[in-house]
């Protein structure tokens, strides 16, 4: 089983990302589940979502305490949440940031295997409406 924890802020799509991961796995014939973990927070508040993917039926319905993969959608949560907490020793930390892995390690002291992608920059370049988004 692969267990994933996603950190973001309300309204960024963390819960949707976990759900899409689960749906993709199910479409590939696997068993999967996805669920959020938040209280009465509002848009912009830190949120966590979880996903599990397995070749066999998943009976565990608790939050993910020891993820194989942690995904950080919003790098601003790095200063308020210990995203490495519970990450397995051979786990992977994936961060959406314009900073390099070396910069992130220096700033936050990360010890685990890491991947970095500037997904925000890519989205702003690739989405047809990226330069025309209106603020409400």
Q: Enumerate the β-bridge partners of residue 26.
A: none
Cα–Cα separations (whole angstroms), residue 19 to 15, 22, 36, 107, 108: 6, 5, 9, 31, 29
Question: Which range marks the domain in which residue 65 is found?
Answer: 2-132
> Cβ–Cβ contacts within 10 Å for residue 74, how many?
18
Domain tally, the chain: 1
pTM of the model: 0.87
Give the tens place of pLDDT for each residue, 75-103: 999 999 999 999 999 999 999 999 999 99
**CATH number, domain with residue 95:** 3.40.920.10
Q: Tell me: the pLDDT tens digits for 19-70?
A: 999 999 999 999 999 998 866 666 778 889 999 999 999 999 899 999 999 9
């Amino acid at each position: 089983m692969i267990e994933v924890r996603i950190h973001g802020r309300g309204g960024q799509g963390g819960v949707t990302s976990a759900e899409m991961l689960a749906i993709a796995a199910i479409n590939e014939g696997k068993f999967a589940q996805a669920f959020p973990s938040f209280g009465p927070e509002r848009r912009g508040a830190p949120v966590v979502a979880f996903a599990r993917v397995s070749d066999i039926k998943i009976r565990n319905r608790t939050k993910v305490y020891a993820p194989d993969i942690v995904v950080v959608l919003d790098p601003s949560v790095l200063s308020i949440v210990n995203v490495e907490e519970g990450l397995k020793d051979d786990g992977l930390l994936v961060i959406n940031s314009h900073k390099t892995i070396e910069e992130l390690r220096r700033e936050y002291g990360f010890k685990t295997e890491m991947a970095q992608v500037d997904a925000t920059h890519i989205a702003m370049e690739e989405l047809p409406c990226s330069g025309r988004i209106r603020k409400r």
